[in-house]
Amino acid sequence: MADGPDGSLELAARPRDAELEALEVELLLEAIYRRYSFDFREYAVGSLRRRLWRRVQEEGLETISALQDRVLHDPSAMDRLLRDLSVNVTSMFRDPTFYRSFRDNVVPHLRTYPFIRIWNAGCSTGEETYSVAIVLHEAGLLERVRLYGTDVNARVVQRARAGTLPGERLESYDEAYRQAGGTAGLLDYFDTDRDGCTLRPELARNIVFAQHNLVSDRSFNEFHVVMCRNVMIYFGRTLQDRVHSLLHESLANFGVLALGRKESIRFTRHERCYEDLDGREKLYRKVC
């Protein structure tokens, strides 16, 4: 809405009927679910509503109801909306202190297992998964690890699988890697060519990327670590609770749950099932 300077100001200055808008949003999400099986009905409303209005504007429409009409009759409009609704922002070693803590607090625990399964749920284009793989590699553990990266969005899963990074971000990634306590250079883990760089096979070998929807798919294994960072912030409370059940179910006893920097297990239904491993970095250990 506020992305363009002029038209947006005019739009911003127009009062809206909040109750009617809430109804229109609800009907649109229901329609999308029934027609296309994409289920956004229990997503958090704040970011979703901004995105819907942006699509309304970009389609040259006036109301959310008009957008409903358009996406029902024109699947290509649904495609465009789906791209808008998919927030895949990610980076390597986002929150460097998290990876430090992972190395100091989680890795020693993992050493006690002969074989280690890790699930990175909502991995987007793979940068987060590569980051964990590098930490595990540097700890000499990667050989024993199977790392699963999953996301609902098939397009990003495909990119994650390709293992390539855009060249222009390498410098900031390398900086974050060093802040996270990395001792080599990030580029040591990538093969570079003209188009960018690709994760080296010895790191990629133990990673499996697959499509998985946290809203509707079941648990598919038992893991020693489940990472789900900056994914559930897009979910409403009720859906968060359901997904927490799924993650809890997927964790072995004393397994580790990792959430995003500003997410917390506090106030969720599963609060009592975990103890802090590092509360600041949102690392929790399953105790029941």
Partner 1 sequence: MRVDLVVVGASWGGLHAVSTLLRGLPADFDAAVAVAQHRGVQAPDLLVGSLQAATALPVQEAEDKDPIEPGRVYLAPADYHLLVAPTGFELSVDERVQHARPSIDVLFESAAEVYRERVLGVLLTGANSDGTAGLARIRAEGGTTLVQHPATAASRRMPEAAIAAGVADAVVALDDLARALAEVCRTGRRLAPRGAA
Ligand X SMILES: C[S@@+](CC[C@H](N)C(=O)[O-])C[C@H]1O[C@@H](n2cnc3c(N)ncnc32)[C@H](O)[C@@H]1O
Binding footprint of partner 1 on the chain (CB under 8 A): 1-3, 5, 8-9, 12-16, 18, 44-47, 49-51, 87, 89, 230, 232-234, 236-237, 240, 260-264, 267
In the complex with ligand X, which residue's Cβ is closer, 65 or 173? 173
Q: Which one of ligand X, partner 1, none interacts with residue 86, CB within 5 to 8 A by kind?
A: ligand X
Rounded least distance, CB 228 to partner 1, Å:
12
| CA pair distance 78, 47, nearest whole angstrom | 18
Q: Which one of ligand X, partner 1, none interacts with residue 213, CB within 5 to 8 A by kind?
A: ligand X
Which residues lie below 8 Å from residue 23, measured CB to CB, with a gap of 6+? Answer: none
| CA pair distance 210, 255, nearest whole angstrom | 22
Residues 157 to 196: which contact ligand X by CB under 6 A?
A: none
In the complex with partner 1, which residue's Cβ is closer, 206 or 230? 230
Our finding on whether 90 is near ligand X (CB under 6 A) is yes
CB-based contact 86:153 (threshold 8 Å): yes
| CA pair distance 68, 61, nearest whole angstrom | 11
Q: Which one of partner 1, ligand X, none interacts with residue 50, CB within 5 to 8 A by kind?
A: partner 1
In the complex with partner 1, which residue's Cβ is closer, 71 or 265? 265
Residues 192 to 231: which contact ligand X by CB under 6 A?
A: 213-215, 229-231
Q: Minimal CA–CA distance to 24: which of 80, 83, 71? A: 71
In the complex with partner 1, which residue's Cβ is closer, 2 or 184? 2
| CA pair distance 224, 19, nearest whole angstrom | 45
Q: Which one of partner 1, ligand X, none interacts with residue 47, CB within 5 to 8 A by kind?
A: partner 1
CB-based contact 244:268 (threshold 8 Å): yes
| CA pair distance 207, 201, nearest whole angstrom | 10
Q: Which one of ligand X, partner 1, none interacts with residue 128, CB within 5 to 8 A by kind?
A: ligand X
* 3-state class (DSSP) for residue 254: strand
Helices (H), the chain: 7-12, 18-36, 45-58, 64-73, 75-85, 96-101, 107-110, 127-138, 154-162, 170-179, 201-204, 237-249
Q: Which one of partner 1, ligand X, none interacts with residue 16, CB within 5 to 8 A by kind?
A: partner 1
* Interaction site with ligand X (CB under 6 A): 86-90, 94, 122-124, 128, 151-153, 156, 213-215, 229-231, 234, 260
